[in-house]
Amino acid sequence: MGIEEDFYCTIKFKNGEEIFAKVAASEEENRTVLLVTNPIMVFEVKKRDGNVAGYKVEPWLKTSNEDLFVLNMDDVLTMSESSDITMITMYQSYVRNQDTSTYTSSTSNNKSKLNRQMGYISSVSDAKDILEKIFKKS
């Protein structure tokens, strides 16, 4: 009984959802539950030619600020411990960014000042005029 050591894991639920997270198993009252930390969903981003361009990482539950969830093993179809460095690195990066964004959004208004290095700065009417000139030339 007690909590087993945590590990990185992909979990497939009976409803078809798939998450990646740091997981620890725990025996409680004759049943096994999973303690899941910062679960994420990973989606492939494909180019027009169908090849994978990268991955998009999103939180599993978008309306919750919690980072720890207790899951009943009865809802799990399968799970697989992961040693995939790419997935683990993406996960760790996401967790770090979540911690940073939570801190900055609660301590400041999180707005950047515009500058020329971000791109061209113009009014809507100026941009419209420039785009119309480009369109007429082509």
Classify 93 as helix, strand or coil.
helix
Q: What is the pLDDT of residues 104-125, one digit of tens each?
A: 444 455 566 666 666 666 677 7
Query: For the structural domain made of 2-111, what CATH number should be given?
Result: 2.30.30.100
- What is the model's pTM? 0.66
pLDDT grade for 7, boundaries at 50, 70 and 90: very high
d(CA 85, CA 8): 10
Q: By percentage, how much of the chain surpasses pLDDT 70?
A: 81
**What residues does each domain of the chain span?**
2-111
Best CA proximity match to 57, nearest among 9, 100, 90, 103: 90
